[in-house]
Amino acid sequence: MDPTVFRLLGPFSMSETLSQVVQEALEAAHLTPEELRLELALALYARGKLSFGKARELAGVSAWTFGEALARRGVPLSYDLEEFQEDLAALRALGRI
């Protein structure tokens, strides 16, 4: 997400609800809710806060679409042991291995 959004919003008090903050971010950045979800997911993935799968789920897009969005922003893919183990468990659960 563009850091300008946070500068425009400024600090917010505990009395403000998360929905108010989100609405202000949408308006300030001129984004749709879907675009904001994607931007948030991309930023959290790039900072190592979310795995590829969790970030893709947050964004509400396919793995292919999320990968393309990462590539457009020059964010490298990371695939760690934990993600490999999650994928392996999912494949086993599906009876594919």
pTM here is: 0.66
Provide the sign of the torsion angle of the four alpha carbons 44, 45, 47, 51, taken in this order.
positive
Mean pLDDT value across residues 67-85: 89
Mean pLDDT value across residues 69-75: 96
Element (H, E) at 82: helix 81-93
Q: What is the DSSP string of 17-63?
A: -HHHHHHHHHHHHT--HHHHHHHHHHHHHHTTSS-HHHHHHHHT--H
* Per-residue model confidence as pLDDT tens digits over 8-42: 555 656 566 888 888 888 889 899 999 999 999 99
How many folded domains does the chain comprise? 1
What range does the domain containing 71 cover? 3-93
